[in-house]
A = this chain, B = another copy of it.
Amino acid sequence: MNLQTLSNDTIVALATPQGIGAIGVIRLSGPAAISICESVFATKNLKKKTLNDKDSHTIHFGVIHDEDIILDEVLVSLFKAPHSYTSENTVEISCHGSGFIQQQVIQLFLKKGARMANQGEFTLRAFLNGKLDLSQAEAVADLISSNSATSHQVAMQQMRGGFSNQIKTLRQNLIDFASLIELELDFAEEDVEFADRSDLKNLVSTIQRIVQRLIDSFEVGNVIKNGIPVAIVGKPNAGKSTLLNVLLEEDRAIVSDIPGTTRDVIEDELNIDGVLFRIIDTAGIRETNDIIESIGVEKTYEQIKLSSIAIYLFDVHEITPNELTQIVKDIQPHLHNSQLILVANKIDKEDMAYTYREFEGFKDMLFVSAKENQGIDLLKKHLVHLFDNRTVNVTETIVTNARHVEALRHTNVALIKVLDGLNMNVTGDFLAMDIRTALHHLGEITGEISSDDLLANIFSRFCIGK
């Protein structure tokens, strides 16, 4: 398979989700897109309708017909190269939202010479035609799967080229210096230095700091994309599953109001004010009491280790402040990067006046009744607040893609080698080698450097039709 060369056939696919809806859109792209559509497009009375002579970005009403059988009344949107998503001639057919009709129309296009598009092939063509670079193409997939305001904003910024431009600028600066160094190598016998060593050092260390910052941003980026991992821990009967339900219940009520929201739930996710949280080991929380009993202290610590935020939930009537102090002490060594919230549950059960005073001394402690849905709003606000404190500014570039951070790490290693080399006054050819390595890895991000495997890997994340 050769993915790095544009094939010159015409591809077709359903661009809208499968299922019953008002309309469905079928997308054709390639040199023959317009002529294939023309060959089956007509007026209501089956008089041939032309498209090739029409302006780009216009819409035409007619029918799609297979000989004398009318498959559907449709609207055809015309996009002429290079003014389309793929940069090729593209036609989008908006037909009635019946799977049967869509299938008939696609089959007809296949019969007329189009072929079924592979996953992400429209976007691959956009990339190969220079409409998007690789990191922008990846952002399209992220955008489609974004399910919170922050992940959406980060993907949007990346798709619009913010991140790409930053990488390209860094790369260009490095290339300029690299070419001076390479020039030195050509004149090796003459022992001249075209590249000023102290300028080079300044430049490389500036770039290295930026690369380091981008690498660091991945911790936040990953959390934005996949949700902030939250552990809910506590003794059996503290009310963990009730708390989980009350947190998710409200979320679901909000989400289900609005059409267009479907989620493949792997772990339970919680979207609060546009920030995505991911509850660790929901299964564990939901298990029957018998099994919960068997989950020991070790398991609890493991969950805390995996989390960014750990909620320690307890029955406020079953624990003394001294015991709680000891528990916090026990948990502390396992917290690493995560933050602890103490949540006192079951405040609905007894008069709390005395209890509140008892626990005054604990910071980051909240009082709730999971059962009666009291104090839950405050808990949610607190979760968002903890996220705000952790995050760098979202308007800065944030790396959310594991592939990018991997390339940045390789770049970073090479840049540090260059800096070491400069400090040790190594010769130009050594410097040149490390700079080339850095350039290579930076180029991987935007796709200036790419391979079939890389492209196959990236575009297999897309749905067919994108």
Query: Is A262 in contact with B18, judged by CB distance below 8 angstroms?
Result: yes
Alpha-carbon gap, A94 to B159, bound state (A): 17
Contact B97 A144 (CB under 8 A): yes
B residues less than 8 Å from A262 (CB atoms): 18-20, 99
Query: In the docked arrangement, what's the CA distance between A143 and B95, Å?
Result: 11
Which residues from chain B contact A361 at a C-beta distance below 8 Å? none
Is A103 part of the contact surface with B, judged by Cβ < 8 Å?
Answer: yes
Q: Does A60 contact B (CB under 8 A)?
A: yes
Stretch from A231-239, A253-261, A304-312, A381-389 contacting the other chain: A253-261
Residues in B with CB closer than 8 Å to A69 are 153
Give the size range of A's interface with the partner: 35 or more
A145 contacts partner chain B, Cβ-Cβ < 8 Å: yes
Is residue A73 within 8 Å, beta carbon to beta carbon, of the partner chain? yes
* A463 at the binding interface (Cβ < 8 Å): yes
A23 CB within 8 Å of chain B: yes
Once bound together, how far apart are the Cα atoms of A20 and B96, in whole Å? 18
Residue A466 interfacial (CB < 8 Å): yes
What 0/1 readout, one digit per residue, does chain A (123-155) give for beta carbons within 8 Å of chain B?
000000000000000001001111111001100
In the complex, A465 Cα to B16 Cα: how many Å? 14
- With a CB–CB cut-off of 8 A, which chain B residues contact A106? 258-260
**Chain copies in the assembled complex:** 2
Query: Is the pair B465, A96 in contact by a Cβ cutoff of 8 Å?
Result: no
A19 touches B17 (CB 8 A): yes
Min CB distance A53 to B, Å, is 15
- A99 CA to B271 CA in the complex, in Å? 14
Question: Which chain B residues lie closer than 8 Å to A58 at the CB level?
Answer: 57-59
0/1 string, A49-83, CB within 8 A of B gives 1: 00000000111100000000111110101010000
Q: Does A173 contact B (CB under 8 A)?
A: no
Which residues of B sit under 8 angstroms from A152, Cβ to Cβ? 71, 98, 100-101, 104
Interface residues of A in 12-62 (CB under 8 A from B): 13-25, 27, 44, 57-60
Contacts of A13 on B, CB cut-off 8 Å? 22, 259
CB distance from A264 to the nearest CB of B (A): 9
B contact residues around A10 at 8 Å (CB): none
Q: How far is the CA of A273 from the CA of B153 in the complex (A)?
A: 49
Q: Is A122 an interface residue (CB 8 A)?
A: yes
Interface residues in A257-295 (C-beta closer than 8 Å to B): 258-263
Q: By the criterion CB–CB under 8 Å, are B70 and A144 in contact?
A: no
6 new A-B contacts, CB < 8 A, other than A16-B25, A18-B260, A102-B259, are A13-B259, A14-B21, A18-B259, A59-B77, A73-B160, A106-B259
| Residue contacts A-B, CB under 8 angstroms, 7 given | A14-B259, A23-B465, A73-B159, A99-B263, A104-B149, A104-B152, A107-B258
Which residues of A pack against B, CB within 8 Å?
13-25, 27, 44, 57-60, 69-73, 75, 77, 79, 92, 94, 96-104, 106-107, 122, 140, 143-149, 152-153, 156, 159-160, 258-263, 462-466
